[in-house]
Structure 1
Amino acid sequence: MLPMQPQIILLKEGTDQSQGRGQLISNINACQAITDTIRTTLGPRGMDKLMVDSRGTVTITNDGATIMGLLDIVHPAARTLVDIARSQDAEVGDGTTSVVLVAGELLREAKPYVEENVPAQTIIRGAHPPFCGRDFFKKMVVDAILMLDSDLDNSMIGMKRIPGGSLQDTQLIAGVAFKKAFSYAGFEQQPKRFENPKILCLNVELELKAERDNADIRIDKVEEYQKIVDAEWKIIYDKLEKIVESGAQVVLSKLPIGDLATQFFADRNIFCAGRIPEEDLQRTISAVGGALQSSVSDLKPEFLGTCALFEESQVGGERYNIFTGCPKAKSCTFLLRGGADQFIEEVQRSLHDSLMIVKRTLQNQELVAGGGATEMTVSRFLRDHSRSIAGKQQLLIAAYARALEIIPRQLCDNAGFDSTDVLNQLRQLHGQKDCWFGVDINNEGVADMFESFVWEPSLVKINYLRAATEAACLVLSIDETIRAPGAGKGGPGPMAGMM
């Protein structure tokens, strides 16, 4: 009788981990509990909810967004409903209860199919077939990379998440864009559009400071105190006058620009924005030129940048400062839209991967087919090669070849296809001739990946095959683990890795 295999614990002790069908049903049940809570508030004759928070504050309302915001929801999946209610409220201002109810009811209808082991991706395709994010973003991603300079520095690609709207509302700006900074009185009087402006970027605080707060001052006369106050005003006005004399029409600063400076600039038709995040400010400088100034005492013309057009525009519920036609270094910015923060974050991660692939393709113009076609080709070659070798190595090389089939097999499983049937077709096709057939995700079958434009840089395949092989060999070379008692703060004991 074989000994019982030990159970390996990979995550920290106390970590809750669930997956598979049970996790899906748990997510659906949690969302249904939320919809059951607010369903009676719908419509003009809907009932109110009396909400009491932890501090005893009482709120009586039938507004869906308010109720969802006051509910202390801890289930991660159910919090998605909070996000879509919040984005609906920010984008439209109404329909917050309806969006939660419909989402919950869609999940309720999908639950029987999940319980019958229908793959989740099959259900998703039935509920959301017409629009494909790939079709929407493919040209946008290529355009973004082509907008960059020849060095293809992806740090010049910005991504801003703006909850609300739909994925199709995402925009690609050929320049730099960032959210409007906190504004003081007088900001609305400033011009919001310039053609070919001179742009000054500062690391200077432009606020009236009471220097008496920073020093111990002793005076004998009231007139001496007035001199101190006048000196404080003179300091700030001298700074502002020097900025105006520089000819700058757009003034950006990493530090605050107060209400006095904001009104001063407004009276002189100058736009200003303070508290700009350092990342956005550095990207702006790289794009428009100039240099970050920590003093205004000697502002030379070469310290100022420029662009073809600056304007402040409304994007969803936010105002954005946008610089286009930047001469120094080309840049672009994605303004990502979507119903929930988690969804937008996932879109951002997917876009990053897509951008990197396009970048690598331009840098290394050797392409191979994706969709598991390359892995099936290498697998066939290794199987053929193994037959020419005698001894145990023949079996090991054949095993390596079988391992590569995990890529097309997992593609099928994740898409809800019959992986056995698809793999049999691929083995037959690749065994007959050299080809680039792989898994056809769109039509549940196989197709020529080159003709379907499913391409990948060969660098990606070469690198991951080398890294995976080296990692496997490293693990196989370890035959013992020796751990000191109490190794790792809060970690498990020496034998906690096995049960």
Structure 2
Amino acid sequence: MSFGGQTPTIIVLKEGTDSSQGKGQIISNINACIAVQATIRSTLGPYGGDLLLVDSNGRQTITNDGATVMKLLDIVHPAARILTDIARSQDAEVGDGTTSVVVLAGEILKEIKDHVEQGVSSQTIVKGLRRASAMAVNKVKEIAVNTSDSNKRETLGKLAGTAMSSKLIKRNTSFFTKMVVDAVLSLDQDDLNEKLIGIKKIPGGSLTDSLFVNGVAFKKTFSYAGFEQQPKSFKNPKIVCLNVELELKSEKDNAEVRVEQVSEYQAIVDAEWQIIYNKMEAIYKTGAKVVLSKLPIGDLATQYFADRDIFCAGRVSSDDLERVIQATGGSIQSTCSDIRPEHLGTCGFFEERQIGGERFNFFEDCPAAKTCTLVLRGGAEQFIAEVERSLHDAIMIVKRAIKNNTIVAGGGACEMEVSAYLHRYADKNVPHKQQAIIKSFAKALEVIPRQLCDNAGFDATDILNKLRVEHRKGNVWAGVDFVHEGIADNLEAFVWEPALVKINAIQAATEASCLILSVDETIKNEESAQPQAPQRGLPPGAAQRVLRGRGRGMPRR
């Protein structure tokens, strides 16, 4: 049967399938993202609050780190999960600004929601947003200040301090700033692998009892009888790192040795003992005073080394052993038969000592130190975990700042300047519908200083009006002053952030907004317990046809 000469298209979907599309679908996605933004926006800035997140197992996490919050939030809505992705990408690429990027993306969507409701095509909006984003990024690059000529350590300290200002450790900023800068500068400056900065957490004591170790520290490993007889400190020891098991082991399942005389059995036992003795003798002859291995070092070997005044530790984790190799200049050995002097590492001082309720092995004053360890103390495990997340953000900021010398002022100064620029540009140079889109983007940028004021309990409307006036006068770095509840030149106040943080946040927030706008249909297939019978006489397999159209995406489970 035909209608007007055309055959109607029939889409047959499995029973229970939820299908929604069109303008209502886009608005629904925007509303979901705004709801996520409302959850996280209160954590922004120096006076932002922390969220207490409890998972299904009852484990609690107290944090204001955007990436951590987004990871722990159990977001069901498929479009809102995109905000989780941009928070993670900001964390991986820059390390800081994870809350800002989610707040900014939510605000862009909130501002353009009116245009969607008025029937403006989503493709027109996407074009306008991309244009505004490109102009905003160029403006940030244009106003950014180059710091390559200034005191490097001082500049890095200021950047780390700004990153910590919104964290739990802001009262101890000066203490941790030095620790973070020393940690990053101790790495190989060519690759700056932050994974070589070990962070060890020991409950107890105060925050200021935390230590910076210019080398490696790790928790005492499992030990056998004879361990306490070993010496626990050396000066300038030679260190050998192994991937060798020094333990007598029972045979594997179903292993079978047939002997006709008892003397033959004894010869087999003696051979096993001789193999392990040969290994230990070879290690002793190298002159090494510290023996570390990824694999177990048993009670026989422990006692053997104790008798010869050698310290040993087996079952050392791969990460810790890798950092020992980096710090001491040695190399890992998979055999004991050919250990040469150049394979051994060394350090200025080795000691095992008690910290809180744990015993730790310290390798300090390492000659080849391209790694370090931060030993964190604190009253509660959740508190120390949040300190670790805070230091991670600061470490990543310092790392990026070494590679990129440009900085901008924080406290909403950069966003207000870019917003003012976009408003001026849109009024003069952009015709038609895109003018409204660019102005909406510019208004969305103001959410950062507004939210900073709200979280601090300031009058946001009053301060934003003052900021608009200052930026119109040409005061580029006017931002929120948290000390005197007003506005200040944040570049002179040393509220600094790498330009990379702002650029990445603007780009990621815009991409997320465009992606959410381009989805105008969601088809959700619920799992059905019983296989559905073919419908309307169609052959089996035709029951799950999906019609794909331009600009339509289908989140899959």
TM-score (structure 2 length as normaliser): 0.64
**Corresponding residue for residue 337 of structure 2:** 297
Contact 1:174 1:332 in 2 (8 A): yes
Deviations 1:110-162 (A, max 9, x none): xxxxxxxxxxxxxxxxxx99971323312211121122232222222111111
Offset of residue 470 of structure 1: 2.5
Q: Is the 8 A contact 1:210 1:232 kept in 2?
A: no
**Residue 219 (str. 1) matches residue 256 (str. 2):** no
Q: Which amino acid aligns with 1:178?
A: F
TM superposition score normalised by structure 1? 0.71
Count of residue correspondences = 392
Quick one: structure 1 residues 470 and 142, their matched pair in 2 at CA, closer, same or farther if it must change by over 3 Å? Answer: same
Contact 1:253 1:275 in 2 (8 A): yes
Aligned to 1:237: 277
When residues 286 and 74 of structure 1 are mapped into structure 2, their CA distance, relative to the original with a 3 A threshold, is closer
1:418-437 superposed matches below 5 A: 418-437=459-478
1:439 maps to 480
Equivalent of residue 165 in structure 1, options 182, 202, 205: 205
1:200 deviates by 0.7
2:183 to 144, 147, 166: 144
Amino acid at match of 2:319: E
Cα pair 1:166 1:338 within 8 Å, conserved = yes
CA distance in 1, matches of 2:441, 2:173: 32
Query: Does structure 1 retain, via aligned residues, the 8 Å contact 2:62–2:383?
Result: no
CA–CA distance in structure 2, aligned partners of residues 417 and 265 of structure 1 = 66
Partner SS, residue 388 of structure 1:
helix
CA RMSD of aligned residues (A): 3.6
The question of whether the paired residues in 2 share the 8 Å contact of 1:252 and 1:273 is answered with yes
Offset of residue 350 of structure 1: 1.3
Return the offset for 1:359. 1.2
Name the CA distance, whole Å, in 1 between partners of 2:316 and 2:169. Answer: 40
1:472 aligned partner: 513
Q: Say whether residues 1:334 and 2:334 are aligned partners.
A: no
**Offset at 1:225?**
2.8
Equivalent residue for 1:407, pick from 448, 456, 465: 448
Specify the code of the residue in structure 2 equivalent to 1:137: F
- Secondary structure of 1:367's partner? strand
Match of 1:392 in 2: 433
Q: In structure 2, do the counterparts of structure 1 residues 7 and 392 end up closer, same or farther at CA, with 3 Å as the change threshold?
A: closer
Distance in 2, matches of 1:243 and 1:383, equals 72
Displacement after TM superposition at 1:218 (Å): 2.8
Q: 5+ residue gaps in structure 2? A: 1-22, 43-48, 64-166, 529-545, 547-553
Q: Is the 8 A contact 1:209 1:232 kept in 2?
A: no
| 1:166 Cα deviation after fit | 2.1
Residue 414 and residue 268 in structure 1: after superposition, are their counterparts in 2 closer, same or farther (change >3 A)?
A: same
CA displacement 1:37-77 (0-9 Å, x = unmatched): xxxxxxxxxxxxxxxxxxxxxxxxxxxxxxxxxxxx97555
Tell me the CA shift for residue 10 of structure 1.
6.4
Unaligned 5+ residue runs, structure 1? 12-16, 31-72, 81-127, 488-493
Per-residue deviation, 1:249: 1.1
Q: Which amino acid aligns with 1:328?
A: A
Q: Write the distance in 2 (CA, Å) between the matches of 1:18 and 1:363.
A: 34
Distance change (3 Å), C-alpha of 1:220 and 1:202: same
How do residues 112-261 of structure 1 correspond to structure 2 at under 5 angstroms?
132-151=171-190, 152-211=192-251, 215-261=255-301
**What does 1:307-322 correspond to in 2, within 5 Å?**
307-322=347-362
Pairwise mapping of residues 27-38 of structure 1 onto structure 2 (< 5 A)?
none
C-alpha separation between the residues in 1 aligned to 2:310 and 2:358? 21
Distance 1:6 1:338 in 2: 44
Secondary structure in structure 2 of the residue aligned to 1:424: helix
How far is the alpha carbon of 1:264 from its aligned partner? 0.7
What is the SS of the residue equivalent to 1:255? coil
For the pair 1:350 / 2:390, whether they are aligned, the reply is yes
2: distance between equivalents of 1:158 and 1:129? 20
Secondary structure of the corresponding residue to residue 354 of structure 2? strand
SS at match of 1:251: strand
The answer as to whether partners of 1:211 and 1:232 remain within 8 angstroms in 2 is no
> How does 1:449-460 map onto structure 2 within 5 Å?
449-460=490-501
Question: Aligned equivalents of 2:423 and 2:444: distance in 1?
Answer: 11
In the TM superposition, what is the alpha-carbon distance from 1:460 to its structure 2 partner? Answer: 1.9
**CA distance in 2 between partners of 1:355 and 1:324 (Å):** 21
What letter corresponds to residue 366 of structure 1 in structure 2? Answer: T
Residue in 1 aligned with 2:543? Answer: none
Query: 1 or 2 for the larger relative contact order (CA 8 Å, sep ≥6)?
Result: 2
* CA–CA separation in structure 2 for the residues paired with 1:212 and 1:472: 59
Please tell me whether the aligned partners of residues 237 and 290 of structure 2 are also in contact (alpha carbons under 8 angstroms): yes
C-alpha displacement of 1:333: 0.7
State the shift of 1:385 in Å.
1.5
Call closer, same or farther: CA 1:405–1:197 in 2, change over 3 Å. same
Query: Secondary structure of 1:243's partner?
Result: helix
SS at match of 2:421: helix
Deviation at 1:485, TM superposition (A): 5.3
Distance 1:19 1:326, change over 3 A: closer
